[in-house]
Amino acid sequence: MAIHRETGLPFTAEKSRQIYERTLGVLIEGSSSSSRGPANFGKYPIFMDRAAGSRIYDVDGNEYIDWMMAFGALPLGHAHPEVVEAITQAATSGAHFATATPVELEVAEMIQKIVPNAERVRFANTGTEAMMAAIRLARGVTGRPKILKFEGHYHGWHDDLLVSSNVLPAAALGLRSDPVKIPDSSGLNRTALDDTIVVPWNDLPALQHALENHPGQIAAIITEGVMANMGVIPPADGYLQGLQKLARANGIIFILDETVTGFRIAPGGCQEHYQLSPDLVTFGKALGSGLPVAALVGRAAIMDALQWGGVLHYGTHNGSRIGMFAARANLRVLTRDHNASFRHSWKISEKLCSGLRQLLQKKGRAAIVQNVGPMLQIMFTDRPAIRDYRDFCQHVDRAAFQKFVLSLFPFGVYASPSAALHSIVTLAHSDEDVELTLEAAGKALDAAA
Ligand SMILES: Cc1ncc(COP(=O)(O)O)c(C=O)c1O
């Protein structure tokens, strides 16, 4: 029986179980997104009540060190005082007007200063929405119908890109030279998928081959900078630069999806870290520090097509005043003291990753830890590295990972139990959090064995 770290009492999630039972009469899978329900969280999810800094507390009073951090939406951790103050200020003076507001300009200018290609900025609410606008813009500006995405990359839940981003048995994927396009959902507009080309990632010859097969038809190549929806898979050396070169040479718009990596890997995201020059970039998650704020940024020559009469992009809640207040406070804290928050999260992440690697070795478990800065994932595999979607589907034991993470909960550590997601280090995490997590991880590995 696991003993709760703070109270010294046996761990129980009984209240969560009772609430879950009650939700079944009204909510689907107990929550508002399938990724939060039993598919990932076992019999029932833990219902959370409140949070502060690196800690989150459930309805039974259990305290956890939170490494999920709202799927990356909280780069400063929970309830950072400056974000709380900003949100309070906006709430008491008008949360949203759906008019032009000066704070929108301030946040846009801050982004312009931080993000290399942000000649123009347009706000949205979610990564999905920003990506929808980016695709429409690319099609509008080029007059071309097709878009190219990569196997295992997730860019939101809209129809155009909801293909080959779920984990599947390796035998379903077809040949690397001609991947089978696998819709991720029922109810998709199949004709939308006709115009979506799917290519293996980290493979420049495969990309070149696809471009040669569709001359003059591809509006955009869309990629994550770090593959963040199959654990954490870094780009191979020179891969993103090669992709950019091929896009340019073929008159194709290069869309970099920084929904996960933005304001996380570096102030200017993967664009800065890998020295890229994309045409359009989408941001979400970390931008609003817990509020739904997303942005599409890019070159003026392309972005200006969003003007009235060109490519349409609307949204009642775009650039909400309360979201902009949160984003402004967030960006101020993130970039303070010459971007000290980024140095902090990289340092804590290195400590956590090396501690986990040592622990897994000591326990004799076939597992690796892959990370890029503050994004990390444990992968139960006998391979020395996981390099792409096919590797992940074939060689990663997702059930073992889920069992391990669910075994962490009673020892006071919270993370996403989905092997395809990852953990996030924030400004709020400390050396002590790492030490307690490593101790808990040792116990959870024994419990899950
Ligand atoms: C790389 C990437 N792009 C886009 C999205 C969609 O963002 P949102 O969930 O805010 O719609 C996600 C969400 O996880 C993502 O990981």
**Which strand (E) or helix (H) includes residue 368?**
strand 367-372
Lowest mean pLDDT among 183-192, 227-236, 353-362: 183-192
Contacts of 156 (CB under 8 A, 6+ apart): 126, 127, 128, 129, 131, 132, 259
Report yes or no on 201 lying in a domain.
Answer: yes
pLDDT band, residue 40 (cuts 50/70/90)? confident
Does the residue 172 lie in any domain?
A: yes
Q: How many CB atoms lie within 10 A of CB 351?
A: 17
pTM flag (> 0.85) = yes
Q: Is 388 a catalytic residue?
A: no
pLDDT for res 2? 60
pLDDT at 5: 57
**Residues 414 and 274 occupy one common structural domain:** no
- 195 part of the active site: no
**Of all residues in the chain, what percent are helix, strand and coil, respectively (each to 5)?**
45, 20, 40
Number of domains in the chain: 2
Known catalytic membership, residue 44? no
276 and 145, same domain (yes or no)? yes
| The pair of three-digit structure tokens given for residue 208, joined into one six-digit string | 């070149």
Question: How far apart are the two ends of the chain, measured CA to CA in Å?
Answer: 15
Q: What is the pLDDT of residue 236?
A: 98
pLDDT of residue 39: 86
- Distance CA(45)–CA(239), nearest Å, equals 39
For the stretch 99-156, pLDDT in tens is: 999 999 999 999 999 999 999 999 999 999 999 999 999 999 999 999 999 999 999 9
CA distance 222 to 150: 8
Task: Report percent pLDDT > 90 for the chain.
Answer: 93
Mind listing the pLDDT tens digit for each residue in 364-394? 999 999 999 999 999 999 999 999 999 999 9
Whether 304 shows a pLDDT value over 90: the answer reads yes
Q: Specify whether the CB–CB gap between 334 and 414 falls below 8 A.
A: no
Question: Given this model, what pLDDT does residue 7 score?
Answer: 60
Beta bridge partner(s), residue 122: 296
Residue written as token pair 């390796």: 170
Mean pLDDT of the 59-73 span: 97
Task: With respect to residue 43, please indicate whether it lies within any of the assigned structural domains.
Answer: yes
CA of 295 to the centre of ligand 1 (A): 12
Q: What is the pLDDT of residue 119?
A: 98
Tell whether 317 and 434 lie within a shared domain: no
Distance 401 CA to ligand 1 centre (A): 22
In a domain? residue 2: no
Pairing label, strands 218-224, 146-150: parallel
Q: In sequence order, what DSSP letters do the residues of 103-125 get, joined into one string?
A: HHHHHHHHHHHHSTT-SEEEEES
pLDDT at 427: 98
Mutate to test the pocket of ligand 1, among 36, 40, 151, 285 (most ligand atoms within 8 A of CB): 285
Choose the catalytic residue: 60, 66, 160, 257: 257
Please tell me whether residues 102 and 147 are part of one structural domain: yes
Last residue of a domain, one of 307, 333, 359: 333
Q: What is the pLDDT of residues 401-430, one digit of tens each?
A: 999 999 999 999 999 999 999 999 999 999
> Which region, left, alpha or beta, applies to residue 14 given φ > 0 means left and ψ of -120 to 50 means alpha?
alpha
H or E element at residue 376: strand 375-380
Quote the DSSP letter at residue 237.
T
Catalytic one of 60, 285, 414, 433: 285
Q: Do 217 and 69 reside in the same domain of the chain?
A: no
Together in a domain, 140 and 188: yes
338 assigned to some structural domain: no
Judge whether 324 and 101 are in contact, CB under 8 Å. Answer: yes
Ligand 1 atom 14: residue of nearest CA: 156
Q: Are 80 and 52 in contact (CB under 8 A)?
A: no
CA distance 345 to 69: 13
Pairing mode, strands 218-224 and 280-283:
unpaired
Res. 42 pLDDT band, cuts 50 70 90? confident
What mean pLDDT comes out for the span 229-257?
98
Q: Which residue has the tokens 């999920």?
A: 68
pLDDT at residue number 260: 98
Residue 54 belongs to a domain? yes
Backbone angles phi, psi at 156, to 5 degrees: 115, 175
Per-residue pLDDT averaged across 209-216, rounded?
98
Domain-located, residue 213: yes
Structural domain harbouring 95: 81-333
Place of tokens 């959902």: 185
Whole-number Å distance, alpha carbon 127 to ligand 1 midpoint, is 5
Together in a domain, 376 and 296: no
Which residues surround ligand 1 with Cβ inside 6 Å?
71, 126-128, 131, 154-156, 224, 228-229, 257, 259-260, 284
Do 101 and 232 belong to one domain? yes
In a domain, 416, yes or no: yes
pLDDT surpassing 80 at residue 6: no
pLDDT of amino acid 279: 98
Mean pLDDT of the residues in the chain: 96
Ligand 1 midpoint to CA 78 (Å): 20
Q: What is the pLDDT of residue 326?
A: 98
Q: Do 109 and 28 belong to one domain? A: no
Q: What atom of ligand 1 comes closest to residue 284's alpha carbon?
A: 10
CA 29 to chain centre: 22
| Residue in 155, 289, 317, 422 to alter for ligand 1 test, most ligand atoms within 8 A of Cβ | 155
Structure tokens at 375: 């994004």
The CATH number of whichever domain residue 50 belongs to comes to 3.90.1150.10
Number of CB atoms found within 10 A of residue 88's CB:
12
Among residues 333, 359, 375, which one ends one of the domains? 333
Do 306 and 168 lie in a common domain?
yes
- What confidence score (pLDDT) does residue 209 get? 97
CA distance 185 to 188: 6
Q: What is the pLDDT of residue 272?
A: 98
